[in-house]
Structures are given as C-alpha cells and as structure tokens.
Structure 1
Amino acid sequence: MSNAQLPFDVFLAHNSQDKPLVRAIANELKRRGLKPWLDEEQIPPGRSFQDEIQQAIPLSKSAAIFLGLQGLGNWQSWELKALISQCVKKNIPVIPVLLPDVRNLPEHMLFLEQFRWVSFSDQIDDENALYLLEWGITGQKPETIVKVIPQKIIEIQSDDLSSECGVNYTQLRDLLKAGEWKEADEETLAILLRVAGREEERWLREENIENFACTDLRTIDTLWVKYSKKHFGFSVQKRIWQSVGGKPGVFDEEIWFSFGERVGWRTTRHHQIFFVTWTSREWYYYSQINFNPDAPEGHLPRMWDEWRGGIEICSIVSKLVKCNIF
C-alpha cells in the first residue's frame, strides 16, 4: 500500500488523562481535512489495545506523540516503543507534541530531540502550533494559517487563573472550554483535595472549605460560570440555596432536600403495592449525574460520590459570602 493510500494521516499517541485536550486537537485536525487515528474512535469494545494499536500504526502516514503534565500513560509507553520501532522500519515521521504548560521534553525522552517538536504553549487554540502540526503531518506547508474567531482567542488569553496556593488552573479551564463536564468536575474535586491535603480521604471537612483561599475559589467559580454560560458553578448553587430559604453557614435538612430537588440531585418516587401507596425521596448517585449542558441549573459541580447531608454545599455557600463571590 502506497503512502497516499494509507487511511489515516496521523496516529495520536497520548496519556488517557490528556484525552480531552488531544480530542480537541483531533477535532481541529479533522476540520482541516485530515484524518487522525484516535483510540476511542477506532478500537471497538472487547478488543485488545495492543493488537489494535499494532495494526493501526502501519496504516498511518505519521505519528504524533503528545506529552502532557501527567507524563506517559501505560498504553502510551507501549505505543511509543512500538511507534519508534515501526517508524524506523517504515520511515513514518514522528512528531513530539508538547501540550499546554509542558516546556521541555522529559529527561528520559531526550532521544526525541532529534525530531522537531510542536509546542502548544499555554492553550490548545495555539494557531502557530496547529499550523506546524499540520505541516508535520502532511509534509507540506499549509497555504495559510487557518484562522479561528479572534474573539475566542482573546477570551482564552483573558482568563484570570490566579492562585494563592500555587495551583495551575489551565487544565480545568481547557476541560470546561471543551465541554468536558465530568472531567472538569473530577478536576475541581482533585484541586480542592490537593490543596486541603485530603487526597487519600477523598472528601472535605467543613474547616477545609472554610480555610480555602478566596482567590482560588473565585478562579474555580469564574471558570465554571463563564464556560457554562452561567448555568453551572458554586455561585449559581449559592443563589439557588438562598432562593429555597437557605442561609450561609446554617444547615437545615428541609432546605437541603429542596435544594437537591432544584439542582437535580434528588428525585421523588411514587410506589404502590396492591392498595398501599407511598412516596420516597431518593438521592442520585454520582454515576447518575447528568454531565450535559441540558442538566438542571446548578447541577454542577457535584464532585463527591455521595453527599453526607449537605454540609459541604452549606459550607461553600458560607465561604462564597465571606469572599464576596456572587
């Protein structure tokens, strides 16, 4: 099979934790008329990753190795070994790609210095990086750099990612911008737990929320509110909490129940056995949460698998008031 007959323009090797960013780049490549090989689009359920990857590499005209802040994943490490071996045999171009906030190649991968790499600097909308990536894939300079809407670039660059705790909010910003609501929810919890030193426990005490920096809470909330178009966010939840009669720092079970129904975390079920009928109120598990834009207002962030009585949301509302976050 000649190079022109190969079905894929580029094989995308990446850590699964970077998939939202790689997916966004893959979509941009498609918009430019290229056909990338992305595992989630090409590997059917029940198939071996290794077998499918081994078959896919020779079907690609080039290979892009994405390097994110999380380093190489298990599958990417395997992909890399297979890639280098097969690329040498079949003369397949290898393009190292540095994702946002990765400035240099990792020390154990300095052998990739022999290839010119592409860096996405601080954002996945980096037009120069996309231009270079397309050039590396096709081997031909694009006639012009495909322009995105300038206002979109301005919005990304103007995001305030301030932190008093040394947290990098680029990943959260990019997930929210890409509409990856579940991943953004998980990233939000990961940040809160990391700052509080509660990563093993996986839940927060009331004092952890009370001591959380106002600057960081404002950054998280602003990103959620902005990219959900004011549909999600802590401040949205605060407004709903207050609308059902809730007060900052004061937990009331009935208020908590009403709040849960308003944001779609709780449902009322009607039961009947023979002539006996009754009603029950049930909380949704985390697996039942709706991670889509059509979810009820204030549905996200949810973060925890199970809520232990609403103390968290009550504490967050209190902290928002003290930080003057509206």
Structure 2
Amino acid sequence: MTTKYNIKNDELIDILITRLIIKNKNITSLDKIIFTKLENIKLQHINKKLNKIFPNGIEKFQKSITINYEPLQTLLIKQNFQEADKLTQQYLCQLANLQNKSTRKWLYFTDIFLLPADDLFIIDLLWQIYSNEQFGFFIQRKIWKKNNKNWDIFLNKIGWTNKGIMKRYPNDFIWTINAPKGHLPLFNQLRGTQVLSYLFEHHVWKEYDNN
C-alpha cells in the first residue's frame, strides 16, 4: 500500500498544522484564506483532513497544548514510525507527570485521567494525518469498537498478537505504512488491557464521535 498526497494542498495543510497546532500561533487573516482555499477545493481527502483538524471550522479552533510536538510531526512526515512511536510514549509519560514522580516509563490506568484532552487530541491527530488514517489511537479505538470490544480479535486485527501470543518488541512489529491498520502507535500490553481500555474511554474521543 502506498500513501498518495496532493503535494500543494497537503503543504498548505502542513502550514496550518505547524502554525496553529505545533507553534500555537493566533489565527491570522492568512490562515483563514488558506483554510477557505482548501475548503473550496472540494476534494474528498482534503475536506476530510480539514474536518478532522478543524471540526468546528477555523474560527472556533482553540487548543491549549503543553508540549512542542514539532519533533513528532517531523518524524511522522518522514515516516520514521519507530522513532515516532518511542517519542509518543515519552510524551504520554511526560503529560502524566511521570518524569517528576517516578522512574517508570509506562502508564497505569490511573495515569490516563491525567492526560490533557487537547494534547492527546493533537498527538493522535498527527498520527492520523501523516499516515492517511492508517495509524492513531482513535483508529485503534474504532477497530476495537467495531469488533464489540473483543480484545483477542482486536489485538490480532492490528497485528500485535500471533495466535494469541503477544509479539516481541521491536523486531516483530512493522514500522512501515504497510503495517495493518491501527498497528501504531504501540501500547504496552504486558500488564493487560486495562490501560488501553481506559485510553479508549477517554473523553477526548467524544470530539471525534460528535463530528
């Protein structure tokens, strides 16, 4: 499977993502012009991206993020998915304040409540946009729900298990765009599915569900 882009239009979307999300700049007249130009193109994949990034339009767009996600954006644009996955896990631990409280590098289910909705939204958005909706937590959640929240079926569908046995990190996982849908980002399942279950129930996904 190959990822196809309309370069000029995607570059304009990158400008909006970088300015308004990564650098958290105030919306300018130029941003509005770019948004209107893209909106009027009437290409399905462009309109789909705009609706995902700006579900309520550019005028009402407002996100308050605590981390600079430009390094993640750069890795995803280059399709360096393994390093992007590592960085994503670091971000999640940072957002849960683990770096200040302990030396562990994984989340407990109680940590999920500490993840700010806007930051989680942006991390997932970057994964979805730069993988053409192949990867991302929300993509995983959709697969999970589609299979009646059956964890065995879900883990097999996204390629994390083989005949019910968890694959070994990192060599057994696929770090290219040709991986199964929802394969990335990874989440530590050695301690069970409770943490991922809480992540899938995070209130941030209601913003997707309602649009």
Offset, 1:320 = 4.7
| Paired residues for 1:115-264 under 5 Å | 149-159=7-17, 160-161=21-22, 164-199=64-99, 200-246=103-149, 255-264=150-159
SS at match of 2:201: helix
Q: CA 1:282–1:323 in structure 2 vs 1: closer, same or farther (change >3 Å)?
A: same
Counting aligned pairs with the same residue, the percent is 27
Q: Is 1:231–1:297's contact at 8 Å kept on the other side of the alignment? A: yes
Does residue 302 in structure 1 map to residue 205 in structure 2? no
Offset, 1:211 = 2.2
One-letter code aligned to 2:185: P
Offset, 1:243 = 0.9
SS at match of 1:259: helix
The match for 2:48 is: none
Gap regions ≥5 residues in structure 1: 1-148, 247-254, 269-280
Distance in 2 separating the partners of 1:205 and 1:172: 23
Offset, 1:321 = 5.7
Q: Is 2:118–2:204's contact at 8 Å kept on the other side of the alignment? A: no
Distance in 1 separating the partners of 2:74 and 2:112: 24
Distance in 2 separating the partners of 1:322 and 1:177: 24
Computed over aligned residues only, the root mean square deviation of the Cα atoms, in angstroms, reads 1.9
Does residue 312 in structure 1 map to residue 159 in structure 2? no
Q: Is 1:218–1:325's contact at 8 Å kept on the other side of the alignment? A: no
The match for 2:4 is: none
Distance in 2 separating the partners of 1:317 and 1:324: 13
One-letter code aligned to 1:190: Q
Query: Cα deviations across residues 58-89 of structure 1 (Å, max 9, x unaligned)?
Result: xxxxxxxxxxxxxxxxxxxxxxxxxxxxxxxx
Does residue 266 in structure 1 map to residue 124 in structure 2? no
Offset, 1:207 = 2.0
Q: CA 1:185–1:320 in structure 2 vs 1: closer, same or farther (change >3 Å)?
A: farther
SS at match of 1:158: helix
Task: Report which structure shows greater RCO (CA 8 Å, sep ≥6).
Answer: 2
Q: CA 1:322–1:173 in structure 2 vs 1: closer, same or farther (change >3 Å)?
A: closer
Does residue 289 in structure 1 map to residue 170 in structure 2? no
One-letter code aligned to 1:155: I
Offset, 1:197 = 2.1
Query: Cα deviations across residues 39-71 of structure 1 (Å, max 9, x unaligned)?
Result: xxxxxxxxxxxxxxxxxxxxxxxxxxxxxxxxx
Q: Is 1:265–1:284's contact at 8 Å kept on the other side of the alignment? A: yes
Offset, 1:259 = 1.0
Gap regions ≥5 residues in structure 2: 1-6, 25-62
Q: CA 1:314–1:166 in structure 2 vs 1: closer, same or farther (change >3 Å)?
A: same
Q: Which has the higher helix share?
A: 2
Offset, 1:290 = 0.8
SS at match of 2:208: coil
Offset, 1:150 = 3.9
Q: CA 1:257–1:229 in structure 2 vs 1: closer, same or farther (change >3 Å)?
A: same
SS at match of 1:168: coil
Q: Which has the higher strand share?
A: 1
Offset, 1:219 = 0.4
Distance in 2 separating the partners of 1:322 and 1:294: 25
* Deviation >4 Å, runs of 4+: 320-323
Distance in 2 separating the partners of 1:307 and 1:186: 17
Q: Is 1:267–1:284's contact at 8 Å kept on the other side of the alignment? A: yes
SS at match of 1:302: coil
| Paired residues for 1:41-80 under 5 Å | none
